[in-house]
Chain A
């Protein structure tokens, strides 16, 4: 039976099992919106297309299923781009569908025409322009296959208005012809044997667990490997949740704002097992002095990441779960007691400096807010953080035990991510308790999505950590620019009143004593609640490895007695 290209869009999405799309209509996508009413798909009308892209991304990160966003041509599509790039950098499986001007006027600078496939070329895994209805189904099928395959990522399908209006037979292909899409192969036996030999010989081994653990569903495989070999596990920001932070072998986060003892352990290791991570500069610091004494085993699904930043001794180019399931049975069961004891020594030093064990002296510290949120929610919430200081405090003080419970923009570091991504996450997992943790700056970038949240009747709790500054930039100015606070002091609206305008109950907290009761009150309230935490204005995230510095050259939190910064090498 013949259908319009617009109908084929929805037929195809139904075939892919899509139940929810995030979008915003407009002229060039209008035929598709018209056809939408006849299909069993929930459409979430956003307030800005960037929000739609983050929602699709958040949906994908929370569930592992492909998130879908839809927008019109021109400005609709360009507004998506920040969200597409965010999904690209963090390998989030997403499909974006954009309307395009009619093929007859393509290239003529027609109203709301922009070269969307050109603009999104470097920020998508793949993209396509469809100018005929008969190609719609195949192209959407390909988009879903590509988005999910290997290292996942965003795929964009740009469909001209006449392709949406034209008619074609609908056949949804099961298989697609993509000679350039290589299925990941299991790791070869020789590399596995070499990896096992290095593991068996190591005296100071350390696992670096990244986002790949979560993407490949390798959490329990990782646990088996770590427990069998007694290897401590350090996490990247995006690896948080991939290994339970309550596990005795879990060290915590590494890198620029990682725990000092974790970075010290990396620099002293004799074997690094990099599992589904890419040696990002925020993780390694100065690459020339990074883990010089360590052999390196890199298990990675994307061959272009192997040897990109760090030379490795053995590469297993494979899906992580498959590789670990092959590796664990062939390594010796053991426990490097001396090494674990040494790390524990460093850990005690870190603990003694921890802000959590200090009194705020009447000041409300963001770290304390996050810590209390973690305790009050029993560590079971899905937390969607924005970008900046609060993001690092969340990573340090909210202990995640389950995969997909921390959703944050790691690679691109996109401010404004949290609220829309949380909407996507909540729609993917309606049963989950979802908390937004955002700063005053990032929250204002996409706060318009409060309307979307209310329109969809979503129960999301929002913590705005307000320090009156663009805090992380202010911290860099404090450390590296002689406290010249260029454009970082920031006036915010009255967040309680703002929430009120959207009919969201809201509270303001400015003392530690009120944190837990207010979080409790929010949890007991059905529906959304916003809490503004007025925190210490000029607090800094410690420790900090300055960009490009040696990983072991961390700026530590000044001790309680002295206010001088200590540098430990």
Chain B
């Protein structure tokens, strides 16, 4: 099973390395990890998707919490969240096919953001399934290059994930 953990970490050099090193040495399996700035300059936020087939999520969470620069960790897997993944996809496209491709991409609320003679770059944002869906449709046309950011997540409503109020001790 995949779990999504949101971690509030101090914005200092080496934090990403500490998290990556922890996952490597404990053999926790990272599916994706994103890190970026937050509303507070002091903190960054990581969204970590982890495969918990071998190690249960509470153990991963507890280990993350042991890192001194990690202020808080919340498992948002079973909370209602807004999830987003962004992809840039360079796909083969002859000039004559551009209009058709544009309308296909439009269905996914994606855009063509760059055009070359024989290819275009498509940008799409959405939850992972939606991005996966577009990728599968584009694959037969010839995907030359692709980059995805990995998932970022935010809990819906007024609950603030990663703030002490939402902190819960791991279950036994």
Contact = CB atoms under 8 A, between A and B. Distances in A.
Interface of A: 117-118, 121-122, 125-126, 129, 146, 178-182, 188, 191, 298, 302-304, 306-308, 312-315, 317
B28 to A, nearest CB: 11
Contacts of B13: 129
A125 B66 CA distance: 8
Contact of B169 (A117, A313, A317): A317
B10 interface: yes
Contacts of B14: 117
B172 A302 contact: no
Interface string B1-29: 00000000110011001100110010000
B56 A122 contact: no
15 contacts: A118-B17, A121-B21, A122-B22, A125-B66, A180-B67, A180-B69, A181-B68, A188-B169, A191-B172, A302-B66, A303-B58, A304-B63, A307-B172, A308-B59, A313-B172
Q: Which 5 interchain pairs have the tightest Cβ spacing?
A: A315-B172, A304-B62, A179-B71, A303-B62, A126-B68
Nearest to B7: A180
Contacts of A126: 67-68
B65 interface: yes
B170 interface: yes
A314 B66 CA distance: 21
A303 B65 contact: yes
A100 to B, nearest CB: 14
A180 B8 CA distance: 9
B70 interface: yes
A306 B10 contact: no
A545 B154 CA distance: 50
Contacts of B68: 125-126, 146, 178, 180-181
Contacts of A308: 59
Contacts of B170: 303, 306-307
A191 B171 CA distance: 11
A178 B138 CA distance: 48
A298 B62 CA distance: 15
Contacts of B67: 126, 180
B10 A122 contact: no
Interface residues of B, number: 25
B62 A179 contact: no
Contacts of A303: 58, 62, 65, 169-170
A179 B10 contact: yes
Given A179-B71, A312-B172, A304 B18 contact: no
A125 B10 CA distance: 16
Given A122-B25, A306-B62, A308-B59, A180 B172 contact: no
Nearest to B22: A122
A178 B10 CA distance: 9
B106 to A, nearest CB: 44
Interface string B66-87: 1111111000000000000000
A172 to B, nearest CB: 20
A302 B62 CA distance: 8
Nearest to B73: A180
A533 B81 CA distance: 68
A181 B67 CA distance: 8
Contacts of B58: 303, 307
Nearest to A149: B68
Contacts of A298: 172
Nearest to A305: B62
Nearest to A122: B25
A239 to B, nearest CB: 22
Contact of A180 (B22, B63, B71): B71
Given A180-B65, A303-B65, A121 B18 contact: yes
A315 B169 CA distance: 11
Contacts of B17: 118, 121
B144 to A, nearest CB: 35
B59 A307 contact: yes
A303 B14 CA distance: 24
A532 to B, nearest CB: 40
B170 to A, nearest CB: 5
Given A117-B14, A304-B59, A307-B56, A122 B21 contact: yes
B2 to A, nearest CB: 19
Interface in B22-59: 22, 25, 56, 58-59
B172 A314 contact: yes
A274 B59 CA distance: 18
Contacts of B56: 307
Given A304-B62, A304-B63, A307-B56, A180 B18 contact: no
Nearest to B20: A121
B21 A304 contact: no
A213 B73 CA distance: 29
A307 B63 CA distance: 12
Contacts of A181: 68
A182 B62 contact: no
Nearest to B169: A317
Nearest to A182: B65
A117 B69 CA distance: 15
A117 B68 CA distance: 14
A180 B70 CA distance: 5
Contacts of B9: 180
B66 A306 contact: no
Given A121-B17, A307-B58, 11 more contacts: A125-B66, A126-B68, A180-B69, A182-B65, A298-B172, A302-B66, A304-B66, A307-B59, A308-B59, A313-B172, A315-B172
Interface string B139-163: 0000000000000000000000000
Nearest to A150: B66
A313 B172 CA distance: 7
